[in-house]
Each structure stands twice: as C-alpha cells, then as structure tokens.
Amino acid sequence: MGAENANREEKIYDVAIIGAGPAGLTAAMYSARAGLDAALLENLSPGGQLAQTEHLENYPGFTLSQSGYELSEIMHEQAEHFGAHTVYDEVTDVELEGPVKRLKLPSGHIDARSVIVASGARPAKLGIEREAKLTGSGVSYCATCDGNFFKGKDVCIVGGGDTAAADAIYLSRICTKIYMFVRRDVLRATAIYYDRLKKLPNVEIVWNSVVEEILEEDGAVAGVRVRDRVSGQTRTYEVAALFVAIGTVPNSEFLDGKVELDQSGYVVADETGRTSAAGVFAAGDVRTKVLRQVSTAVADGANCAEACAEYLLQQQS
C-alpha cells in the first residue's frame, strides 16, 4: 500500500462524497467551504454526465460558447481550491451503520462521519443481441462523444426524449441522414426540440418503431432491423451507428440493502438529501426527484452539504 493510501486510511473525514458530477462537486465545494474535511471519490474523471454535454443551453449564466466539460473543470478546481481532497477510485461497497461510515475501494477504504451519495446515473441499455458486443463499434450512448466517428454517414437514434432530440440535432450537423426511432406516436422531448427537429431536412422521425436487431458486418454495426408497432411489419435500415438515448439507470448498486431505494433503484431522499440511514445524504440524479438536470444536481449538492454540516454538529453536542 502506498504512503498516501496508508495516511488516508488512518484518518476519519468529516464527509465522504461519492461521485464528482455536478452534485458531488457542489457538495464538495460547499462542505469544504464550511470547514469540513471532505473527501471526493470519483472512479472516472470529474464532471460525470456534465462532461459529456457539448452545449449547456439551460444552465443559468453559462454562455453557449462553453462546454459542459469546461464547466466540470471549473467546478472541480473550485472544490479543490476550498480544500476538498479528490480520491480517484471506485466505491464498491459501503458500511453505513454507526457514527463512522466506511467506503470500500479497490485500493483500500475511506472512513468518514457522514456520506453524501452523488453517484449519478448511466444510460439505459436496449437489452438486445449484439448491443454489448458492438458498443464502441457503432453502438454508442453518447452522441456528442462519438458522433464525429460517423461523419458523412447514415446513423440512427433510439429514443423520444430530450436527450434523443438533442442528439439528433447534434448529429444532423455531422452525419448525412439520421433516423430517429420513437416507440410511440409522440415525442417526450420538449416542444422547443421538436420545433427544431422538424426544420432539419436530414432527420427522419420513425414513429411507433422498435429496434429489434442490430446487424453486424466486419465486427461493426451495419444496420438495424426495426418493427412497426402498429402494422407489425419489419424493415431494415442500413446505418453505421446506433445511438441509444432511452433514459438512465441510477448508479446505486453498491447501496442495495444499505439505504432505502425505490423500485427503479433511485435513493429515496427529500429536498435536504436525508436518506433512510443516519448521516447519509443523496444528491443529484441518483436520488428520487422529478427533474434530473445540472441545475437541480447542483442545488441538491448545496442542500446536502448544509444538512450534512448540521448533522455533524448535532453528533458533537
């Protein structure tokens, strides 16, 4: 074990924050600024889903020329500036009973008097054959990350929400033709997106459609077979990529049985972030809430840090 790990394992942090997306970064900044000794755990790189957002149009005060990635970097710098300590590792298990909580990591553990869970969410999968095999070879869950690999080609998107619509708009500037397969006969996406989609000559919305099979050639996506839910007929589309944008699932598996989760796996928590376990708070996309956005994740992070500081004060008295 390295010297840094050994030192880390001897100490008890005031608060350990799981996940450095916008919720975790804000919680870290508020906690550190309030004088708490804060560890911020991240298994990939700071920013979470925010870092994948090319144009953040709806975050107040943030201009269109900046990307979500840039905002992530600024938020991380700000949290560290106030004293939050980033640990790059994955939380694989947790012990949440008692006054000192333990987060288990492949490199050891972190002990803390309180925990803020801000582990966010990841894209939902279609669950069809070859989806896993061809991920990275034409199947993608992030148009802004992978769209450029399919410049000048025909591609398709599955989904009818805001993310799918934003992906279609983004891809329309790069790809030749974009088929958008929507399960129902309406979009869940907000009207502003629909208005923009309608004006794009190279985007075709295919209503009442379900992708049943991914076709493969030379180890990459060559097309999709799609069923019309109304007529029952199937049709093959030759596309070089399939972008899946059908929603998200929470990163909460390591909490199963440790805090209350709802049926879909989201951590049950109120506006202050309090969960069913004392001293454990949840912020951002991982918690039960109506609107999962950067602005609401940031608000959660601030509320959680405040509730956490109050909890620690009560523990001392």
Ligand X SMILES: Cc1cc2nc3c(=O)[nH]c(=O)nc-3n(C[C@H](O)[C@H](O)[C@H](O)COP(=O)(O)OP(=O)(O)OC[C@H]3O[C@@H](n4cnc5c(N)ncnc54)[C@H](O)[C@@H]3O)c2cc1C
Closest contact distance (angstroms) between CB of 84 and ligand X is 14
Q: Which is nearer to ligand X, 19 or 279 (CB)?
A: 19
Closest contact distance (angstroms) between CB of 92 and ligand X is 7
Q: Which is nearer to ligand X, 53 or 303 (CB)?
A: 53
Alpha-carbon dihedral 34, 112, 304, 72, rounded to 10 degrees = 80
Closest contact distance (angstroms) between CB of 131 and ligand X is 18
Closest contact distance (angstroms) between CB of 233 and ligand X is 32
Among all residues, which ones are annotated catalytic?
142, 145-146
Where are the strands (E) in 93-219, listed by range?
Answer: 93-95, 101-105, 108-117, 121-123, 139-140, 154-158, 177-181, 203-206, 209-217
CA 227 to chain centre: 29
Name the residue among 174, 119, 114, 167 with its Cα closest to residue 140: 167
Q: Which two tokens stand for residue 136?
A: 């990275």
Give, in order, the Cα–Cα distances in Å from 22 to each of 79, 99, 248, 293, 298.
11, 27, 16, 9, 6
For residues 155 and 211, what is the distance between their CA atoms, to the nearest angstrom?
Answer: 13
Interface residues toward ligand X, by CB under 6 A: 18-24, 41-44, 48-50, 52-53, 56-59, 90-91, 118-121, 142, 144, 163, 251, 254, 284-286, 292-295, 297
Q: Which is nearer to ligand X, 82 or 254 (CB)?
A: 254
Q: Which is nearer to ligand X, 88 or 207 (CB)?
A: 88
